[in-house]
Amino acid sequence: MLFQYDLSQPSLDDLFDSYWNGLTELKEEHRAEVPQFANQLVRGVIARLADIDLTISRHTEHWRISRMAVVDRNILRIAAYEFLYETETPRPVVINEALEIARRFSTPEATQFINGVLDAIKRELDGAAPPPLLASPSASR
């Protein structure tokens, strides 16, 4: 849904209707709670898009959000949203879910990129200091 929104920015009602009406793979036992949870996440991401993109941008040196692949930026957006606003899911679980989606819908390089960005955001939110820079081989001589 975020991919579709990113490309055409339909109203949320139109977005949800077209997505759920076109989806035939959802098992009957999930037809109530899955759409509700997914719609909540999408609404949240869209409502806080500027703050989420700012958070991601702080951790993507030399990569503007607009230059990222649509799939990759929206994987980052939904994970960052969960980090910041849906805090009941543990951050390592959010990262793992994002990486599973990236493995399925993006490239191996993008998966590594997403992992690095989300890990950096997680460290920032956890209040951990960034890992120390390794000295270059020439610096130790």
pLDDT surpasses 60 at 129: no
Range of the domain at 60: 48-126
Using DSSP, state whether 141 is helix, strand or coil. Answer: coil
Asked, for residue 102, whether it belongs to a domain, the answer is: yes
Q: For residues 113 and 60, give the distance between their C-alpha atoms in angstroms, rounded to a whole number.
A: 9
**pTM for the complete prediction?**
0.82
* Total number of domains constituting the chain: 1
Rounded to an integer, the average pLDDT of 109-115 is 94
**Residue-by-residue DSSP string for 18-31:** HHHHH-----GGGT
Helices 70-85, 49-57: crossing angle, 10 deg rounding: 100
Q: What tens digit of pLDDT does each residue of 29-71 get?
A: 666 778 888 899 999 999 999 999 999 999 988 889 989 999 9
Asked, for residue 81, whether it belongs to a domain, the answer is: yes
CATH code, 56: 1.10.940.10
Asked, for residue 86, whether it belongs to a domain, the answer is: yes
Asked, for residue 30, whether it belongs to a domain, the answer is: no
